Structure 1
Amino acid sequence: MMHPRARRPFFGDLRFLIGLALVAVSIAGVWLLVSSSRQTTPVLQATRTVLPGESLTSADFQVVEVGLAALTETYLAPQDLDPGSIATRTLPQGELVPQSAIGDEDAARTTTVVVSSISIPEGLGAGSVVELWHAPPVDDGRSFDAPRVLVGDAIVGSIAEAEGMLSQTRTDVEVVIDRADVGDVLAAITGGSIISIIPAGAGS
């Protein structure tokens, strides 16, 4: 007498189907990860140190292909560099350019001035954050008052040796400052103050 074949439990079949589904999801996830890692987007990268307030052109950047995935819109694409754009903060050489670091020329809050300083620490260069200190002359015209902070957050644009009789003791430094500080800086220069430049925070 033949016995009927026992049927597999329903729950056994269900576990088998769930296992297949998990394997399929895992394979799909790996495929999507590999696929997204292969997708690159052209963005701009600074080829030099760009200072706040500087006008920007395509000559300041190079186009690089990077895999940014969801962060693509965070960085500046070549077609997004509009005429009249300026840097709103320092862009070190080699940095990918974020959208937030680019602004409109009409909204610029900074400008550059040249000061002659008797004190330039070693290691300063374009992009260095510095403080401007000045010692104003006193009434007798033969001495100077105690040094005080003139601008607390200037940025070095360029450094060049001064020309003329004072070239042995002074160095011309172009600095980026807030427009609100221009009046005080020019007053210190024309008033005969001794101006010193130090790394930011060193005089605190």
Structure 2
Amino acid sequence: MASLSRHRRAFWGDVRFLVGIALVALSITGVWFIVSTSDDATPVLQAQRTITQGEALRSSDFQVVELGLGALTDEYLAPQDLRTGQVASRTVREGEIVPVSVPADAEKSRSTTVLVESSIGIPQDVLAGATVEVWHAPPLDDGRTFDTPRILVADVIVRRVIEAEGMLADAGTQVELVIDRADVADVLAAITGGSSLSVVPVGPGS
């Protein structure tokens, strides 16, 4: 019996030894994987603030972060890819890793900005990058009343909201909007023609 007991102890001792070897091997493999992943990290640009469509891309608006993107490396903007004269082809949210599809040539951009005074209040959560509609109500012949409101331009982007202060607080809220150049004439005609304009949020926040 004593011989059998010693045999069992020796067997379990061998098993524990092998398990220990396996754990050490797994630990070494894990460290190697972390180090190799770190070595494969690629520097890319991350937006430090919301950048609206058509806005100039400046190096100060980004920070460089290193990420292990693997096969997706070529799909994101590297620091050396940012050049003077580029604008955002779409809105880039704060904290977003910037895709290579975002930069566009400023000379070829189809968007511009127009300052519109909204006759109605705008929710506080409508900030830069929000999507809105512009409604207008043309003045009637009596010069005191307005026609039924209708959409002037849809799905435009807010560049910034300018809240009136002090004695000008009753003048309404001014909103700088990013609009397609093809819509500029209609918007300016509504402004100069005395239409009552309203900026209405769509989607989240509406």
Shared fold per TM-score greater than 0.5? yes
Q: What displacement does 1:37 show?
A: 3.0
Q: What displacement does 1:167 show?
A: 3.1
CA deviation map 1:84-122 (0-9, x unaligned): 111000000000000011111111111101011111331
8 Å CA contact 1:133–1:149 kept in 2: the answer is yes
List gaps (5 residues or longer) in structure 2. Answer: 1-25
The secondary structure found in structure 2 opposite 1:154 is strand
Aligned to 2:127: 125
- Residues 163/138 of structure 1: CA separation in 2 closer, same or farther (3 Å cut): farther
Q: What displacement does 1:201 show?
A: 5.6
Q: What displacement does 1:165 show?
A: 6.3
Aligned to 2:37: 37
CA deviation map 1:156-184 (0-9, x unaligned): 11111246865314111111111111101
**TM-score, L = length of structure 2:** 0.78
Aligned to 1:102: 103
CA distance in 1: counterparts of 2:147 and 2:36, whole angstroms: 64
Q: How many pairs are equivalent?
A: 173
Aligned to 1:51: 52
Aligned to 2:68: 67
Q: Which runs of 4+ in 1 moved over 4 A?
A: 163-166
**TM-score, L = length of structure 1:** 0.78
Percentage identity across paired residues of the two chains: 57
8 Å CA contact 1:45–1:63 kept in 2: the answer is yes
List gaps (5 residues or longer) in structure 1. Answer: 1-26
Q: What displacement does 1:153 show?
A: 1.1
Aligned counterpart for 2:158 among listed residues 132, 156, 168 = 156
